[in-house]
Amino acid sequence: MKQDFYVVLGVQHDASETDIKKAYRKLAMECHPDRNNGDKAAEEKFKLVTEAYEVLRDPEKRAAYDRYGMAGVRGQGAPAGFSSTHFDLSEALMVFMRDFGLGGGGAFSGFDNLFGGGQRRERRRGHDVKVGLKLTLAEVATGTTKTVRIKSLEACTVCGGTGAKQGTQPVQCGTCGGSGELRHQAQSLFGQFLTVSPCPTCGGEGTVVRDPCERCGGEGRVKGEKTIQIDVPAGVADHHYLTLRGQGVPGPRNGPPGDLIAVLDIKEDPRFERHGDDLVYDLGITFTQAALGADVQVPTPYGQAKLRVESGTQTGMAYRLRNKGLPRLGEAGHGDLHVRVHVWTPNKLTAEQRKLLEKLGEIEDPVPEEPGGSNFWDTVRRALGLEEEHEPRPRRRRGGEE
């Protein structure tokens, strides 16, 4: 499903964060499942507007989306284990609650059911870990697996992550009576209702540690290091990021782990200019090669390729090697490699070369003139039946061609 998130939220491309928040809240209120008696279409819309909101409210994700579209934020076609921002209903509801704080009861009484009988006891989640992942263009061309070592925390083996001293168990929290939450009456858009917030004593866990574990001091986790393998799909771009769910820091006392976020840093290959999936290579040829034609070798990310330079080739002309560009992320096929030709004029001549060139000079034809003087090079290209493109630009082609 191709959806423009700006259209989904009905905001302009330069909308501020406040505009986005406002637009989302209005839409989310309208299509909230609790107000639509479980209507499927409303539920789908709720998930979609929430997804759009989650991307556009986050400057980093929004920038990636603006640049690469869905591929920038969803990691389409990425191997299993990579997250997408595609929400299920409970995740979408959490986003809505997180930002608009509308807890159980009142107009949204349905929430309690969604969270299992009103008990919102939850374990605290560990932090996300961000790592930079350096890649070469050759690795982007083929896809690769990188191994990273991260210093982080790991579950304490002495207490098994509970934080309680060996032989003891965490006990029920006195502040919240074990429910993990505190309830208050509050005013909201829909009148008075109950808000629910996590218990400050136990952090929402419902239990506290009386006798802390000696190794971890009650945290349930200790310093550690781990090695993680990250599969990088082919065709990724600089600043893309991959999210590995659950590979971040473990939560305190067996809380759920955060995510590992790998931000890609792609080293430029001096041989190529990258335009999306397409690459541009500058090829120097001699003027005899240009005049007579020649078979030359050009580098590609996949090794050398043969290119036939046609006789009469001019500086500025471009040849296209189809499918020798980078793989399209999340799609079949490859971009193209454009070879831009530059004719090299020798700046040193031997006596023999000079003599031959002088001889040629006596019999060669002048440069043809174009009536009106416009677009001379286009005329040349057309006359020679060569590719007309000059400035290669990335193009999106989907399946079926060739």
CA–CA separation, 82 and 233 (whole Å): 10
The yes or no reply on residue 323 touching Zn ion (CB under 5 A) is no
CA–CA separation, 55 and 46 (whole Å): 14
Whole-Å CA distances, 4 to 64, 179, 232, 350? 14, 41, 26, 63
The yes or no reply on residue 55 touching Zn ion (CB under 5 A) is no
Nearer to Zn ion, 159 or 309 (CB): 159
Nearer to Zn ion, 176 or 307 (CB): 176
CA–CA separation, 233 and 262 (whole Å): 13
Q: Which tokens belong to 352?
A: 């023999």
* 145 and 232 Cβ atoms separated by less than 8 Å: yes
Burial of 69 (0-12, 13-18, 19+ CB in 10 A): middle
36, 197, 201, 323: which one contacts Zn ion (CB under 5 A)?
Answer: 201
CA–CA separation, 344 and 324 (whole Å): 25
Site stretch for Zn ion (CB under 5 A), options 38-46, 209-217, 249-257, 350-358: 209-217
The yes or no reply on residue 169 touching Zn ion (CB under 5 A) is no
The yes or no reply on residue 215 touching Zn ion (CB under 5 A) is yes
Tell me the sheet residues that pair with 197: 182
279-308 per-residue burial string, b: 16 or more CB within 10 A, e: under 16: bbbebebeeebbeeebebebbbbeeeeebe
Site stretch for Zn ion (CB under 5 A), options 168-176, 250-258, 314-322, 323-331: 168-176
The yes or no reply on residue 164 touching Zn ion (CB under 5 A) is no
Nearer to Zn ion, 84 or 157 (CB): 157
Residues 6+ apart with CB under 8 A from 108: 32, 34, 102, 193
Nearer to Zn ion, 243 or 254 (CB): 254
Site stretch for Zn ion (CB under 5 A), options 12-20, 210-218, 235-243, 268-276: 210-218
3-state secondary structure of 41: helix
> Measured from the CB of residue 148, what is the shortest distance to Zn ion in angstroms?
26
Element (H, E) at 266: strand 260-266
- 96-115: which residues touch Zn ion (CB under 5 A)? none
> Measured from the CB of residue 152, what is the shortest distance to Zn ion in angstroms?
16
* 29 and 23 Cβ atoms separated by less than 8 Å: no
> Measured from the CB of residue 8, what is the shortest distance to Zn ion in angstroms?
39
The yes or no reply on residue 159 touching Zn ion (CB under 5 A) is yes
23, 64, 73, 213: which one contacts Zn ion (CB under 5 A)?
Answer: 213
175, 286, 288, 311: which one contacts Zn ion (CB under 5 A)?
Answer: 175
* 329 and 73 Cβ atoms separated by less than 8 Å: no
CA–CA separation, 270 and 283 (whole Å): 13
The yes or no reply on residue 173 touching Zn ion (CB under 5 A) is yes
Nearer to Zn ion, 27 or 156 (CB): 156
127-136 per-residue burial string, b: 16 or more CB within 10 A, e: under 16: eebebebebe
> Measured from the CB of residue 154, what is the shortest distance to Zn ion in angstroms?
11
Q: Which tokens belong to 320?
A: 């296209």
Nearer to Zn ion, 167 or 371 (CB): 167
> Measured from the CB of residue 201, what is the shortest distance to Zn ion in angstroms?
4
Site stretch for Zn ion (CB under 5 A), options 55-63, 116-124, 211-219, 374-382: 211-219
202, 283, 339, 341: which one contacts Zn ion (CB under 5 A)?
Answer: 202
The yes or no reply on residue 156 touching Zn ion (CB under 5 A) is yes
Instruction: Write the DSSP symbol of residue 338.
Output: E
> Measured from the CB of residue 39, what is the shortest distance to Zn ion in angstroms?
37
> Measured from the CB of residue 260, what is the shortest distance to Zn ion in angstroms?
23
216, 249, 337, 341: which one contacts Zn ion (CB under 5 A)?
Answer: 216
137, 148, 158, 228: which one contacts Zn ion (CB under 5 A)?
Answer: 158
Nearer to Zn ion, 204 or 327 (CB): 204
The yes or no reply on residue 182 touching Zn ion (CB under 5 A) is no
DSSP string, 123-189: PPPPPPEEEEEEE-HHHHHH-EEEEEEEEEEEE-TTTTTS-BPTT---EE-TTTTTSSEEEEEEEET
CA–CA separation, 231 and 80 (whole Å): 9
23, 64, 131, 176: which one contacts Zn ion (CB under 5 A)?
Answer: 176
Interface size with Zn ion, residues (CB under 5 A): 12
Binding site for Zn ion (CB under 5 A): 156, 158-159, 173, 175-176, 199, 201-202, 213, 215-216
